Structure 1
Amino acid sequence: MTAKLPVKHLTLLALPLAAASLATLAQAQDWTPTRSIEFIAPANPGGGWDTLVRTTSRVIQEEGLADQNFAAINVPGGGGAVAWAQIARDSGNPHKLFATSPPIILVPLAGTSRHDHTAFTPIARLITDYSIVLVRDDSPYSDLNELFAAMQENPNLSVGGGSAPGSMDHISIAGLASAAGLNAAEVNYVPFSGGGEAMTSLMGGHVEAVITGAGEASGQLGEGSDIRALGVSAPERMGGALADVPTYQEQDIDYTFDIWRGVMGAPDMSAEAVAYYEDLFAQMLETDGWEQAREQLGWIDAYQNSEEFGDFLDAQKAQFSEVLSDLGLLGQ
């Protein structure tokens, strides 16, 4: 059976930067952290979650926005499921946060985690990013069409990603392959426990290409790099280190893919703690340190407060349920 995605344009970015009334939030804050905050990246170092956790922690510290330290902690495994299971057992803990993105929806839908987004406390959506397809510098493929032609001829050629089967990177490459005319369900996707591990496999010649977040790849591209980018899922070319990377659409593949990223907390976090973190991250987005980091990583601000983020996550579940069903990956 040939899996056909319902749309060629899969957009994860729903709303622009939301206006936050910092004065109102500040008045509502009856709680502040009393010890270091555990800020968890549910994967190995080097991927999108890890980059978000370490970047936001650094900016918050350098800008003096919080009295307590944000301690970056990596908990890899199961495309995020191992970390989510641990966090779910720590109900009510206001000192535990984690980075989140589409896998919080996709992994449970695929049936590989019993903890979905409704088990946790939405704090804020922060940014959106894009997918990028990378190959080794000595790869014979000069563009995406050459790569897909080779994959069609040899289905054993593999594409690695830093998320579980049926999760973000898999959906991104499956949608791209479908738009390019391939059977999306037959893409030989190899999952790794984070973008860093996927890149190591690429450099070792174990996979033909890697699909990952454009932001986390930006620092590895440029003169003297051992990798090349074949295309980015943005609707138009990006800036900085990615300025020379063509979009999918420039290569006659009518497909885009946005990767939102945000922060969630342990189950049943108090309203006062949520208000504190909403305010903190809204202030962080206004700093010079954040602006510099965002430009370097190619991120786009996409703030939503806790309530808006929760509604957005519910809508994402409805959208992704349809996509996974069409790919034959929806769990029972």
Structure 2
Amino acid sequence: MRVPSVAWAALACSALLSVSALAGPLDKPECIAPAKPGGGFDLTCKLAQSALQEGKYISDPLRVSYMPGGIGAVAYNAIVAQRPAENNTIVAFSGGSLLNLAQGKFGRYNENDVRWLAAIGTDYGAIIVAENSPLKSIKDLVAAIKADPTKVVFGAGGSVGSQDWMKAALTARAAGLDPKAMRFVAFEGGGEALTALQGGHVQVYSGDASEAEEQMKAGAKIRVLAVLADKRLEGKLASVPTMKEQGYDVQWPIIRGFYMGPKVSDADFKVWTDTFDKMMATPAYDKLRAERGLFKFALTGKALESYIKERMATYRQLVTDFNLKVAN
């Protein structure tokens, strides 16, 4: 018996729907980097790409796509409003994303509007001076600020309200200086700020630990006074004390990780969290992470969600303390 073409079309459509319904969260996965190629979001996606594929946790390669705009805002809004149930899409975020979220720069959405999947590593803030600087410790820096704040100029690759500005502001506040009175020069990026530091145009650079480590390996004439971590770091900076060790409890972790849409099912979300848990527990992953300048920090699911909420409360308090304008 001949089946009419309309019936064949119906059968084909039904088959496609069945295949689609059976598609798992790790099938043809995509990682969205909310910026142009290069930079931290791209690094985050490509770390997951390498680790997932090399460890054979996925059969299809993790595709990296780019969605620049608003330092993460465009991607955040797209996932929440237009792609909330995509079970095979993860989006990169950083501590800077959270800070912008706390300042209202992501529009009407907040941290409760996505599912926080995994934190896969972290960097930390660092207070850096030129190698020939008379400042040998944070106590020296605090004393210099108290003696004459106009002679201590901070420089960083970010404007007022950015992560690098926040590190400088917290350091100034620890020295008893109102951050509004702090002398601060914003540069286009960390490279420009480091050049200015070594040239004596600024006295202090509030940057990142991994960046400082790489620059020192490359021969930069700099010295790290403190890392803004909860404990000393491993590697080349192991001898550098934390701010807390030096009497000032200033910490600035810069986590990197992923979130998913708010309507991804619990079952699919668990497949992802279980996969990241297995992956991040291996020495092979630790090697890949370290190669990308990230320090160990692994959280998934509920544990990450709790951490995010704690950080958001801290960031919102800083926005209030420093009287930073919250975007509408």
Q: Scaled by the length of structure 2, what TM-score is found?
A: 0.73
Q: Deviations over 1:247-293 (max 9, x none)?
A: 22454434333333331023423334322221221111122221223
Instruction: Give the SS at the match of 2:215.
Output: coil
Residue in structure 2 matched with residue 174 of structure 1 by the alignment? 169
- Select 2:101's aligned residue among 108, 126, 129: 108
Give the residue type in structure 2 aligned to 1:317.
Answer: M
Instruction: Give the SS at the match of 2:240.
Output: coil
Judging changes above 3 Å, is the alpha-carbon distance between structure 1 residues 138 and 58 closer, same or farther for their aligned structure 2 residues?
farther
Judging changes above 3 Å, is the alpha-carbon distance between structure 1 residues 298 and 313 closer, same or farther for their aligned structure 2 residues?
closer
1:303 aligns with 2:295: no
Q: Is the 8 A contact 1:76 1:82 kept in 2?
A: yes
Q: Is the 8 A contact 2:145 2:177 kept in 1?
A: no
Q: 2:183 & 2:121 partners in 1: Cα distance?
A: 29
Q: Is the 8 A contact 2:31 2:92 kept in 1?
A: no
Q: Is the 8 A contact 1:39 1:99 kept in 2?
A: yes
Q: 1:226 & 1:71 partners in 2: Cα distance?
A: 39
Q: Deviations over 1:80-118 (max 9, x none)?
A: 334434444542333432222333432133233213322
Residue in structure 2 matched with residue 255 of structure 1 by the alignment? 250
Q: Is the 8 A contact 1:202 1:208 kept in 2?
A: no
- Select 2:33's aligned residue among 36, 40, 46: 40
Residue in structure 2 matched with residue 9 of structure 1 by the alignment? none
Residue in structure 2 matched with residue 69 of structure 1 by the alignment? 61
Q: 1:118 & 1:187 partners in 2: Cα distance?
A: 34
- Select 2:272's aligned residue among 274, 277, 294: 277
Residue in structure 1 matched with residue 125 of structure 2 by the alignment? 131
Q: Deviations over 1:19-54 (max 9, x none)?
A: xxxxxxxxxx9723332413315477344x444333
Q: 1:63 & 1:288 partners in 2: Cα distance?
A: 11
In the alignment of these two chains, the number of paired residues is 298
Give the residue type in structure 1 aligned to 2:53.
Answer: Q
Unaligned runs of 5+ residues in structure 1 are 1-28
Q: 2:248 & 2:36 partners in 1: Cα distance?
A: 31
Q: Within 5 Å, which residues of 2 pair with 1:17-56?
A: 31-42=24-35, 45-47=38-40, 49-56=41-48
Q: Deviations over 1:169-188 (max 9, x none)?
A: 33333222211222123335
Q: 1:316 & 1:80 partners in 2: Cα distance?
A: 17
Give the residue type in structure 2 aligned to 1:119.
Answer: D
Q: 1:161 & 1:293 partners in 2: Cα distance?
A: 26
Q: 1:188 & 1:171 partners in 2: Cα distance?
A: 13
Residue in structure 2 matched with residue 265 of structure 1 by the alignment? 260
Quote how far apart the aligned CAs of 1:141 are.
4.9
Instruction: Give the SS at the match of 1:32.
Output: coil
1:159 aligns with 2:155: yes
Q: Is the 8 A contact 2:127 2:226 kept in 1?
A: yes
Q: Which has the higher contact order (CA 8 A, sep 6+)?
A: 1
Judging changes above 3 Å, is the alpha-carbon distance between structure 1 residues 242 and 55 closer, same or farther for their aligned structure 2 residues?
farther
Unaligned runs of 5+ residues in structure 2 are 1-21
Quote how far apart the aligned CAs of 1:139 are.
5.9
Judging changes above 3 Å, is the alpha-carbon distance between structure 1 residues 315 and 153 closer, same or farther for their aligned structure 2 residues?
closer
Quote how far apart the aligned CAs of 1:227 are.
4.3
Quote how far apart the aligned CAs of 1:240 are.
0.7
Q: Is the 8 A contact 1:52 1:99 kept in 2?
A: yes
Give the residue type in structure 1 aligned to 2:234.
Answer: G
Residue in structure 2 matched with residue 26 of structure 1 by the alignment? none
Quote how far apart the aligned CAs of 1:198 are.
2.5
Give the residue type in structure 1 aligned to 2:76.
Answer: W
Instruction: Give the SS at the match of 1:154.
Output: helix
Judging changes above 3 Å, is the alpha-carbon distance between structure 1 residues 106 and 254 closer, same or farther for their aligned structure 2 residues?
closer
Q: Is the 8 A contact 1:135 1:202 kept in 2?
A: no
- Select 2:194's aligned residue among 186, 196, 202: 202
Instruction: Give the SS at the match of 1:256.
Output: coil
1:234 aligns with 2:226: no
Q: 1:108 & 1:258 partners in 2: Cα distance?
A: 16
Residue in structure 2 matched with residue 57 of structure 1 by the alignment? 49
1:243 aligns with 2:263: no
Residue in structure 2 matched with residue 312 of structure 1 by the alignment? 307
Quote how far apart the aligned CAs of 1:326 are.
1.5
Judging changes above 3 Å, is the alpha-carbon distance between structure 1 residues 74 and 150 closer, same or farther for their aligned structure 2 residues?
farther
Instruction: Give the SS at the match of 1:65.
Output: coil
Larger radius of gyration: 2
Q: Is the 8 A contact 1:38 1:73 kept in 2?
A: yes
